[in-house]
């Protein structure tokens, strides 16, 4: 099965509720969709969101780097040579992680179609069903409590609470949420780099003194502050997780060698694709460290790849944070992974299992053989 063309489209889905973190606020899931065609008539789908404050990627930069530096090298390559294709994608340009991830997702989708098997089975097999948390956006306390109550009524029993824009208010937010929902849910905090190391220790020790039991705290300090993460981990009982500090396998090794964190958050968009996400999962297994599989604000095309990986690597990936598609008002993808509240169900269709995508807006500027 040979790659013959690469096309692009946009996909936009309104959110049920605006998504607010310490870094940004958005009202839509907006994906750039990568469509790889083959000489056998099969089509592979990948996608990526615009995340300039996290990965540095925008839709325009993703489109540009794929067209100019990567896609022309892929034309004519055989899908069965998966490792060679992934190595070419990773080595064609520095950084540009979301661009690489979108391409790799489409290639892995075709790899599954080549062998007529769902991706999770080809990656090692696992359960067809997963259970995700749900994100509670940072807001005033009453609004966050209302959002928590709605999430619980929808069947969610793990809440990922966004904080990080005001230390004292953050502490009060967490105390109120724990008092209201701590007995019936697990609570994860995502600080989105909003505190420094001493603030984090102060906040967590204060919360611990009030018997607030958190499952984990995600990326409290700036992404390059490895010393700060270690400082925190050594002084609190609450498990600390690296997110933006852990883009690459090398960074993951450094964090685990230094005992700087307890948990690594793997995101396919952040690692640059499934190949490096798999590598990171294997590294954490060697260090007997826990992993979470996460997403940013991508739709169900991109998150499907992460879900298949989570199933196949369930021994390493014990925590699921793949609620992005569930935050949309609808899912335009037919087939593929089903996102229904906290329940995620993988398709047994080949590859990612996608049959069709509604409301795609083609970009008439693809990469075709010369």
Residues annotated as part of the active site: 162, 267
Within 8 A by CB and 6+ apart from 121, the residues are 312
**Residues 126, 320 contacting (CB under 8 angstroms):** no
Take residue 123 and report the two structure tokens written for it.
């990656």
Task: Give the C-alpha separation, 90 to 101, whole Å.
Answer: 9
Q: Give the side-chain half-sphere CA count within 13 A for 187.
A: 26
Residue 90, Ramachandran bin (φ over 0: left; ψ between -120 and 50: alpha; else beta): alpha
Task: Give the C-alpha separation, 295 to 130, whole Å.
Answer: 15
**Residues 90, 248 contacting (CB under 8 angstroms):** no
Within 8 A by CB and 6+ apart from 54, the residues are 23, 244, 270, 296
Helix (H/G/I), strand (E/B), else coil: 321: strand
Task: Give the C-alpha separation, 336 to 305, whole Å.
Answer: 10
**Residues 264, 253 contacting (CB under 8 angstroms):** no
Work out whether strand 129-131 and strand 343-345 pair parallel, antiparallel, or are unpaired.
antiparallel
Q: How many CB atoms lie within 10 A of CB 66?
A: 28
Take residue 29 and report the two structure tokens written for it.
């899931």
Within 8 A by CB and 6+ apart from 315, the residues are 285
Q: Give the side-chain half-sphere CA count within 13 A for 55.
A: 29
């Amino acid at each position: 099965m040979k790659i013959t063309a690469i096309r692009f489209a946009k996909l936009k889905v309104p959110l049920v509720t605006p998504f607010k973190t310490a870094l940004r606020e958005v009202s839509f899931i907006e994906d750039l969709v990568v469509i790889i065609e083959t000489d056998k008539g099969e089509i592979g789908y990948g996608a990526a969101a615009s995340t300039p404050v996290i990965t540095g990627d925008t839709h325009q930069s993703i489109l540009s780097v794929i067209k100019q530096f990567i896609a022309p090298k892929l034309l004519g390559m055989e899908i069965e040579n998966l490792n060679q294709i992934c190595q070419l994608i990773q080595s064609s340009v520095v950084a540009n992680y979301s661009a690489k991830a979108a391409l790799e997702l489409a290639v892995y989708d075709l790899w599954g179609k080549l062998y007529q098997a769902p991706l999770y089975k080809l990656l090692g097999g696992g359960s067809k069903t997963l259970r995700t948390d749900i994100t509670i956006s940072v807001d005033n306390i009453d609004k966050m409590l209302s959002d928590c109550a709605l999430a619980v009524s929808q069947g969610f029993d793990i809440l990922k609470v966004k904080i990080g824009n005001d230390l004292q208010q953050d502490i009060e937010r967490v105390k109120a949420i724990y008092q209201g929902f701590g007995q019936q849910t697990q609570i994860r905090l995502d600080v989105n780099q909003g505190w420094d190391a001493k603030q984090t220790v102060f906040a967590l020790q204060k919360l611990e003194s009030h018997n607030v039991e958190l499952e984990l705290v995600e990326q409290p300090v700036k992404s390059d502050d490895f010393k700060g993460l270690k400082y925190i981990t050594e002084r609190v009982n609450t498990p600390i997780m690296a997110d933006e500090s852990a883009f690459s396998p090398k960074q993951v090794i450094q964090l685990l060698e230094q005992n700087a964190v307890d948990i690594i958050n793997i995101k396919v968009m952040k690692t640059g694709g499934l190949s490096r996400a798999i590598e990171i999962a294997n590294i954490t297994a060697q260090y007997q460290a826990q992993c979470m599989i996460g997403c940013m604000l991508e739709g169900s095309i991109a998150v499907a790849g992460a879900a298949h990986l989570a199933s196949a690597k369930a021994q390493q990936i014990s925590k699921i944070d793949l609620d992005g598609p569930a935050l949309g008002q609808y899912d335009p993808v037919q087939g593929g992974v089903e996102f229904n509240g906290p329940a995620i169900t993988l398709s047994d269709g080949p590859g990612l299992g996608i049959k069709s995508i509604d409301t795609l807006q083609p970009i008439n500027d693809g990469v075709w053989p010369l």
